[in-house]
Structure 1
Amino acid sequence: EALRRVPEGGVYALARTRRDADALRQLAERLPQVERPVVMEGRLEEVPTFLALQGGARAELHFDAIVGYNSIFDDADKAAACATLASLLAPGGVLSLAERVPQHTQRLYRLVDAGTLDADLVARWQAAEESIYGDAADPLVNWDADKMRSWLEAARLEVAMKGENEASETPITQAMVERWFTPAASGRPAYVDRLSTHVAAGEIAQIRALFDRQIVGQTVDWQAHTLFITARRPKESTSG
């Protein structure tokens, strides 16, 4: 869509991984050379450096529109990410983002009927899972719409946003459940690692059995919350 709306050579795309970048380049090969987007690979904070390395006028390149999906939802410093995006906009330019809010994602304990478990165990299980989304040190979950608005406004953008709840049909496979209940070897803790802070190993086995019996091989309505953001850089004043 961006390619249809802008002059030749006016579209830049940012891919986080080599795989995504290669996929975009393969798609672009169908277009005439002059119409192909410039595909960048890396993190958002690297974009100004990339543009500077292009040399000449491109070092001062600003965009009339920036569109992204889950562009900053897991960025460790979202305030800096918002400032970077704002710095890339031309006066009057528009930023349009759709960001999943992990804080409001599907809770696994709501997918099964825990009526056969002891009430105290269920309470500790739910508390353990909710603690995942209340971790102030985790950049994936320590933000919400109000914080996002404050970061964008601090970057001097005029902000409008709305949140929408969504439900998607999601097949639950044995591999998914296995992943949830297998301790992480390194990096981000797995679901079972989080449970183990409140729930004993034998109790975790009881919880795991519920998933195996009730939802493996089934399709569930997976809940998610997406924040739709439109932020505009004000046009520079010509008065005075």
Structure 2
Amino acid sequence: MIDLSNSLLIAVAATFFVAGIVKGVTGMGLPTVAMGVLGGLLSPLAAAALLIVPSFVTNVWQLLAGPSVMVIVRRLWTMMAGVMLGTFAGSSILKNGETGLSTFMLGFALAAYSVYTLLARPFQVRPQDERWLSPLVGGVTGLIAGATGVFVIPAVPYVQALGLRKDDLVQALGLSFTVSTIALAVALGSRGVFETHMLLLSSAAVVPALFGMWAGQSFRRRVSPATFKRCFLIALALLGLEMMLRYVL
């Protein structure tokens, strides 16, 4: 149970609005921003519960924005199975209330994703390696998602390395994020974590998230997405480092 003060409600709305802007500009980042900011205000467990509905709605929108849904599902189904299994296993950390460890892992995930995306060179996954890499990447992504609520590592770099066309890449990321969100919701629900007021607040957060996406899509026409993404990743890395230091110190 959390204290739903006016200041907290304003902070949640502002967080999802900003997270929506980031997703509108870059095509990703809503769960990452939301967990990064809310993880500093609430327990990672409460933050993950608030994330569920806005993440699901925005990612289904992204998934269905093109014609290749079934082709992508057939190609990535083993990765999605790994995500489901890994998320159930990792969610025990959130459920057991290990707030300090969850905060550190969340900070590490944010920092690792940011630094990798800023510095790593693009690479390609060979088609013959997908058969064993997809379920492995899915399982690791699920473990991290279950423990932290962030489902970008290593799923995003892996999907980007598959050589998909631009529109198919957007849909593939939408599929990965959607399945991760569903898996996290089912895992938390099966462990008796969801409470009615949290589900209602998560549903209400869809509104600022969608307004943020609309604003971000408009903003994208006025600023270089590459410059925006670079600044966003630097800020995210600093936020992750602060969360890790908070646990250590």
TM-score range for the pair, normalised by the shorter chain length: under 0.3
Please state which structure has a larger fraction of its residues in strand: 1
Please state which structure has a larger fraction of its residues in helix: 2
TM-score by length of 1: 0.24
The structure showing larger relative contact order (alpha-carbon pairs under 8 Å, at least 6 residues apart) is 2
